[in-house]
Amino acid sequence: MRPDATDGERLAVARLVGRAVPAGRSTSLSLERLEEMLRSSGAWPAGLASAVVALTGPVADPRVREEEQRAWASVTAELMALADLRPELTEWLEGLRARGQLRRVAGSAVEASALIAQLRAVVAALPAEGESIARFSARVLDRAHALDAGTALGGLAAAAAEVLGRHAADGVSTTAARPGSAAWRRDVWAAVGAVVDDLSSTVLALGLPGSLANPGLAGALAQFAVQGQPVVLTLRQLTADDVGPVPGVVFVCENPAVVAAAADALGSASPPLVCLQGQPSAAAVVLLRHLAAHGAAMRYHGDFDWGGVAIAKTLASHVGWRPWRYDADAYVAAIRLRGDALPTLTGAPQATPWEPRLAEAMKEQGVNVEEEVVIDALIGDLGDWS
């Protein structure tokens, strides 16, 4: 007992040991003697160990605690080793470690270690090639539902995919959806070439030649081309069938308004035109990669704003392209055409690797030029090409 014990505490100890404990003095008692007194006095017949558990809860064995600490230290080392495999994950991994997130999602160090091994397999296999999540999971982890939403691995893998996708897009987020939402999950997986399902991922196209001799997708594309009508293609269609003959040049735009205007003005005479409708979907990536692999040259135009620049760079991470009126001269010409009617450019400036002068011009002029502003010039180009 400590010297500053209260009178009540001293009285209780005195009754237990059978002698007075003077104020201002400490007293000690061996555990063996305390055990004997608790049992013989009837104060706690089950003994000292039982009394301590009843009063304070289970007492951990120091040796067990040390083993557990060593096990979790090993898990932490395994977690941080993922940075050797994918350095772009370093900051994210540091955050996981600092927050102790693995301890929250895994019941034990053994389970956490197994989780890290699976996460390592996933990030090593990314980016995917337009696979569905289920197919990717079955190929990499031998379980189709291992990356389902609501699972510990599914949550960690989706968060890692967000970081990898943002890194591929030069630090720009590939989604505006609320973190953890279904839309967020769909977007972050699409940014690394995987899709939550192969029907929700689509791409808009006009003028893909197809082949009337083919009863499948190529035949359908040929019919739409003859009619001069745009077509929405799903990832499922693009991975299950062939699009047919590949044209020498494919124009790529960001906004559906360009496709609608081309269909109205040129109809069946429009050259092949593919629309991203924002960040490239898995369907768009699969289609454009297929066309490029078979000899098509890509000519790209997007909005002259920082979001449009991010989309252009994401596309470049998947397939090569040359600018189509998407340079500094075209930007300045559009501003001169519209004068003071253009909105102010907002957001964080970014580099434009295909032409560094464009980024400088955008920072200097400070205005946003959307594709719709220059749509007449774009349609003119398409008409001249056809």
Looking at every residue in the chain, the average pLDDT score rounds to 88
Q: Which two tokens stand for residue 341?
A: 């009617």
| pLDDT per position as a tens digit, 259-302 | 999 999 999 999 999 999 988 888 898 899 999 999 999 999 99
- Residue ranges, CATH 3.40.1360, the chain: 202-385
Cβ proximity of 116 and 78 under 8 Å: yes
pLDDT at position 196 is 82
Return the bridge partners of 300, or none: 252, 323
Task: Give the mean model confidence (pLDDT) for residues 45-65.
Answer: 67
pLDDT at position 197 is 75
CA–CA separation, 56 and 34 (whole Å)? 17
Lowest-confidence pick of 186-195, 201-210, 328-337: 186-195
Q: Which two tokens stand for residue 326?
A: 């998407």
pLDDT at position 18 is 66
pLDDT at position 380 is 97
Lowest-confidence pick of 89-98, 185-194, 265-274: 185-194
CA–CA separation, 245 and 204 (whole Å)? 18
Burial profile 231-265: b = 16 or more Cβ within 10 angstroms, e = fewer: bebbbbbbbebebbebbeebbbbbbbebbebbbeb
* Rg of the chain over all Cα atoms, to the nearest angstrom: 33
The domain made up of 202-385 is a member of CATH 3.40.50: no
Q: Is the pTM of this model over 0.85?
A: no
Task: Give the mean model confidence (pLDDT) for residues 56-83.
Answer: 81
- Helices 306-318, 282-293: crossing angle, 10 deg rounding: 50
pLDDT at position 300 is 98
List the one residue out of 288, 358, 364, 371 whose CA is nearest residue 328.
Answer: 358
Q: Helix, strand, or coil here: 296?
A: coil
Task: Give the mean model confidence (pLDDT) for residues 203-211.
Answer: 97
CB neighbours (10 Å) of residue 75?
23
pLDDT at position 51 is 66
